[in-house]
Amino acid sequence: MADTLTISIPAPLADEVRAAAEARGLTPEEYVRQQIAWDIAIGDDDAEPAFSVEEDLAAFEDYERTGMAIPGEEVEAWLRSLTTDNPLPRPRPRKLK
């Protein structure tokens, strides 16, 4: 059985959470659990997001060269499972082409 943690957030943020959850077909609780699980999975609390076009291009070039990748459907299933009592193992890259 899952532990319960209750938090209070400002009304404007709660409205944003509800809207984001609805847009994804999730309850607000599922959405928040998914976002927290994703944040924990990414790690490095002190780091600023450092996504860049250069990194994206390098990753795509690596895929083109090696054919190694993780299908998006597997990533999505894994992320959704992080909000359950039985999370899936993190998907691993494999040869796709």
Q: How far apart are CA 19 and CA 5, in angstroms?
A: 22
Q: Enter the tokens of residue 78.
A: 């894994």
Report the alpha-carbon distance of residue 14 to residue 96 in Å, rounded. Answer: 40
pLDDT digits (tens, 9 = 90+) for 19-63: 999 998 989 999 998 888 888 877 765 656 566 788 889 889 999
Closest Cα partner for 78 from 25, 34, 43? 34
User: Which residue is it, tokens 């090696």?
Assistant: 66
pLDDT digits (tens, 9 = 90+) for 65-74: 999 999 999 9
Domain boundary assignment for the chain? 8-48, 51-97
Averaged over 8-26, what is the pLDDT? Answer: 91
Write the burial class of residue 10 (CB in 10 Å: 0-12 exposed, 13-18 middle, 19+ buried): exposed
β-bridge partners, 69: 94
Residue 61's pLDDT is what?
A: 92
**Does pTM surpass 0.75?**
no
Report the pLDDT value the prediction gives residue 42, as an integer from 0 to 100.
75
Q: What pLDDT is stored for residue 43 in this prediction?
A: 72
Give me the chain's average pLDDT, please.
Answer: 86
Residue 44 has a pLDDT of 63
